[in-house]
Amino acid sequence: MIDNSIFREYDIRGIFNENLTQQVTFKIGYLLGQKIQSNGERNVIIGHDARVHSLKLYEWLKDGLCASGIEVYFIGLVPTPVAYFATYNTIDSISSANSIMITGSHNPPQYNGFKITLDKKPFYGSAIRELGKELEKLSVPIVSSARKIISIDALSAYKNYLIDHFKSLKNFPYKIALDYGNGVGAVGMEDILNALNIKHHSLFAQPDGNFPAHHPDPSEEKNLIDIKNHMSKNNIKIGLAFDGDADRIALLSTNHSYKGDELAILFAKQIGKDGTKPVIIGEVKCSQIMYDEINKIGQSVMYKTGHSNLKVKLKELDAHLAAEMSGHLFFNDRYFGFDDAIYAGLRALELFLDYTPEDIEMLIESLPEVYSTPEEKIITTEDEKFTIIERLQEILKNPPSEFPKIIDMICIDGIRVIFEDGWGLVRASNTTPVLVTRFEAKNKENMGKYKNCLLGLIEKIKK
């Protein structure tokens, strides 16, 4: 019996040997091999993160791919962006537009999965769900492949590219702190920092799939306690924290942790300093302040949450940058348009060539003041979450008389309700059985009012 919950919106992810079994993983490899061949191609690049079962999943996946007739190129233990990078560059005389990264990202240690790129595009959404349906019908024997696998050194090519790309950071004037959370970020970043002579203190740099230091998710403040304490004790003014597979980042300075939408503002100014009018894509959870500030110097675009959605939209619009609140940052300006925390971290350091850490903090503090809630979740079920959104949208077309005045509703991903003094968001998570909410207003009273009114409607719908 196949557990279809592993076929998620943006990737395949499950629990090793529970729903990610040898049979399931082999069949995933076999079917992906068929899809690669249907695109007229015959090879794929595979890398893996530090999780203790990643190499075993590699063996099973590789066997399935080889059984379908695909040539596998192995790049070993690498950050996820190295697998993306390899699809855009010829490495060791080998080119491939396809990659599979074996990673559980920021999930707990028992999880693992696959981030898939076919023809340089994310394999996601309906394509992943259809793969799950095909897998249920597939009858194919598990065969261990004796084919010799070719290893290529994508990691060195990636590091050399970034060392050359960021020559301006040579002898960087500030010492920095980095928290790798025992993920794979240090595998890429440390040699780059040393080559550029950037003084740094590194925390939890040794890859360890058990994540003994803390959970590898820098979007949660509790996971930033160690780096904040280290920065304070050592008078370090700039910090970078990575998630488990190094495709998400957090930037910290002495008095501030920068959210994804704040970073988008800073990078928009960086891109626009030569007169370019930056086109920046944000997700529905981003602050209205971000959209307003970017529109002063360029063009902002609101779009769906999710790294796959934003990568596709970025290419469609040929925008300069896309940003997610969680720290996924996608640079199409000077780069290839995929989410890369190592590249984004180095771009962040470039900010401090033009401004001091104190200047950057003042720039953010000078933005119009708003009050906002963090991302909050309402537990529901997979079946119910989208139904609630549909019913809520219908009610809001003719809301109760006591409901705050609605200026507009944006329904590209859930419902973002625009009020006179702020907004509220309710969207169905694409990865878990929850509704995700966020609220923002110019004062606490209205923020609370918008929150209470929308949550009140949800409670009535759930009854």
Read off the pLDDT band of 432 (50, 70, 90).
Answer: confident
Same domain flag for 355 and 449: no
Distance CA 248, CA 259 (A): 12
Residues 101, 363: contact at Cβ < 8 Å? Answer: no
Per-residue pLDDT tens for 238-272? 999 999 999 999 999 999 999 999 999 999 999 99
Same domain flag for 358 and 388: no
Range of the domain at 27: 4-155
Same domain flag for 334 and 209: yes
Distance CA 96, CA 300 (A): 33
List the catalytic residues: 13, 105, 328
Same domain flag for 127 and 39: yes
End-of-domain residue from the set 365, 396, 418: 365
Per-residue pLDDT tens for 153-202? 999 999 999 999 999 999 999 999 999 999 999 999 999 999 999 999 99
Distance CA 357, CA 360 (A): 5
Residue 400: inside a domain: yes
Residue 160: inside a domain: no
Sign of the dihedral defined by the CA atoms of residues 347, 353, 354, 356, in that order: positive
What's this model's pTM, rounded to 2 decimal places? 0.96
- Write down the pLDDT at residue 236: 98
- Write down the pLDDT at residue 146: 84
Contacts of 20 (CB under 8 A, 6+ apart): 6, 14, 57, 112, 113
- Write down the pLDDT at residue 259: 94
- Write down the pLDDT at residue 382: 84
- Write down the pLDDT at residue 227: 98
Read off the pLDDT band of 400 (50, 70, 90).
Answer: very high
Per-residue pLDDT tens for 35-83? 999 999 999 999 999 999 999 999 999 999 999 999 999 999 999 999 9
Sign of the dihedral defined by the CA atoms of residues 280, 12, 69, 45, in that order: positive
- Write down the pLDDT at residue 106: 86
Q: What's the structural domain count of the chain? A: 3
The whole-number average pLDDT for the span 364-380 is 94
End-of-domain residue from the set 365, 383, 413: 365
Please check the confidence at residue 463 and state whether its pLDDT lies above 80. Answer: no
Query: Over pLDDT 70: what percentage of the chain?
Result: 100
Same domain flag for 383 and 357: no
Please check the confidence at residue 3 and state whether its pLDDT lies above 80. Answer: yes
Same domain flag for 349 and 249: yes
End-of-domain residue from the set 133, 155, 177: 155
Write 132-136 long-range contacts (CB < 8 A, 24+). Answer: 132/2, 132/4, 132/6, 132/7, 134/31, 135/2, 135/24, 135/27, 135/28, 135/31, 136/2, 136/4
DSSP string, 28-66: HHHHHHHHHHHTT--EEEEEE-S-TTHHHHHHHHHHHHH
**Average pLDDT, rounded, for the chain:** 96
Same domain flag for 346 and 429: no
- Write down the pLDDT at residue 319: 98
Same domain flag for 342 and 378: no
Same domain flag for 402 and 355: no
- Write down the pLDDT at residue 394: 96
DSSP β-bridge partners for residue 427: 436
